[in-house]
Structure formats: structure tokens, C-alpha cells
Amino acid sequence: MFELRKAQDRGISNQGWLKSQHTFSFAHYYDPKQVGFSDLLVINDDRVAANQGFGSHPHHNMEIFSYVLDGKLAHRDSMGNGSVIQPGDVQLMGAGTGVLHSEMNPQTDHEVHFLQIWIVPARKGSKPNYQQVHFSHEDKRGKLRLIISPNGEDNSLLINQDIHVYAGLFNDNEKATLKLADNRYAYVHLATGELSLNGIELHAGDGVRVRHEQVLNFTAGKNAEVLVFDMRPSELPEM
């Protein structure tokens, strides 16, 4: 079963320096029908103006990853990490027992467009950790590249949850198939462009809850960048 969530139905926040669209309930946006899916709690589609950003703030017991679509994002945290994240980079922070971090746009003339995604961890109270890996366009071109997994397979980032995250880039005749186990759910988020999922036409910002399906077919891409989450068969995150 496929349940489509159109981009225009997402929550909207506009603070001037920050423009966000929320797939699931977040901050001042609340929809009782949109409070996460399986262990996926937050997908925020954020655009941050030049020289602006999120000052130092705390997190705990959450797996948080940032996926930059355009521009640059500067990260600093209380673990001593500092880096600049660019398209192709995947940054994953396990907040565990608690961490402070900031995310700023270091550019003087260009906004940064990125996805901030929160996943509820399997175990609370873990030691905070930080990972960052670059996946080239070639890694994702015309296929689904594993970028996050519970065991770090295939040089993916290691996450504290039973979830596999894939990223792919699709144009024209490029296509890919992802097979799911019988007892799995999935969520598909189209970050940019257009793409067909099992014949369902998707546009940038659209998302799809997937239940009781074994095969996901991705075709007819037009400058498409997609994230796919292979998850436990649970309706809502267990907080």
C-alpha cells in the first residue's frame, strides 16, 4: 500500500532567515495525522539565508542527520567536531546522553538548502558520536546507494536503529529497484525533481508511506534526488 503525502500539504514555517517545510509535526506545526512514521520522526526541508543559522542548542536521545542539497552548512558541536557539509556529504550525529551543536550558513551570498532528519534511537543513553561521509554523484547516479545502516555495511554511516537509508539520483531512462523484506515498512522522500515510484508520479517535496509492499521501482526521473528509508513495521515512533 502506498500513501502519498503531497509537498504542498506539509507544514510551513517562515522566520525570514529560515524557510522550512515540515513533512511531520515539528515545533509550532502540529498535525495529529503526521507525527512520524515507524522510527522516522522529522523531515525538515530547510533553506537558511546567507550568514544565518541555528546557534548552539541541545539534543539528546536522537539520531540526527543532515543532507545538503545546495550550498554549504557549517557544523560545530560540544564533542569538538567542526566541519562544512556540502552536497554529497552525509552527516550523522548520535545525540545520546546529550550534545550541543550549531548549524550555520557560512556563505555570504547564497542560501543553503538541506534536509534535517531525526530518527528515534533503538537504545537511549548512548555515548554521543559524530560521523560524516561523502558520497559522490557517481555513487548515486541511476541507483540507490546505501548511506546509513545499523551495522555500517558498504561504508555507510552507523546508526543506533534498525533502519537502512538509501540515496539516489535519476534522470531519463535510469531506473532502480529496491526489494523489501516481508515485515518491513518504507518511506520515500523526493528531495528534488520528478520521479515515478511504482507508477506514482512524485514531485519535489512529495513523500510516500509504504506498507506491505516487497518491491519499489523507481523510473522516469527528471533531475530527481530521492531518499528511501527501509524501516521496522511500526506506525509511530516510540519516544
- We report the CATH number of the domain holding residue 173 as 2.60.120.10
How many domains are contained in the chain? 1
- Flag whether 23 is in a domain: yes
- Flag whether 67 is in a domain: yes
What distance in Å separates the CA atoms of residue 57 and residue 129, rounded to the nearest whole number? 16
- Flag whether 237 is in a domain: no
- Flag whether 239 is in a domain: no
Provide φ and ψ at 138, rounded to 5°.
-65, -30
Please report the pLDDT score of residue 238 as a whole number.
86
Helix (H) or strand (E) holding 46: strand 40-48
What distance in Å separates the CA atoms of residue 92 and residue 15, rounded to the nearest whole number? 25
The predicted model scores a pTM of 0.97
Domain carrying residue 178: 2-231
Please report the pLDDT score of residue 62 as a whole number.
97
Q: Tell me the pLDDT of the chain (239 aa) as tens digits.
A: 999 999 999 999 999 999 999 999 999 999 999 999 999 999 999 999 999 988 899 999 999 999 999 999 999 989 998 999 999 999 999 999 999 989 999 999 999 999 999 999 999 999 999 999 999 999 999 999 999 999 999 999 999 999 999 999 999 999 999 999 999 999 999 999 999 999 999 999 999 999 999 999 999 999 999 999 999 999 999 87
- Which residues have a Cβ under 8 Å from the Cβ of 68 and sit 6 or more positions away? 85, 86, 87, 88, 89, 112, 113, 114
Nearest to 166 by CA among 95, 176, 174, 46: 176
Please report the pLDDT score of residue 111 as a whole number.
97
Report the DSSP pairing between strands 200-203 and 185-197: antiparallel
- Which residues have a Cβ under 8 Å from the Cβ of 141 and sit 6 or more positions away? 169, 174
Please report the pLDDT score of residue 170 as a whole number.
98
- Flag whether 238 is in a domain: no
- Flag whether 236 is in a domain: no
Report the DSSP pairing between strands 144-149 and 157-158: parallel
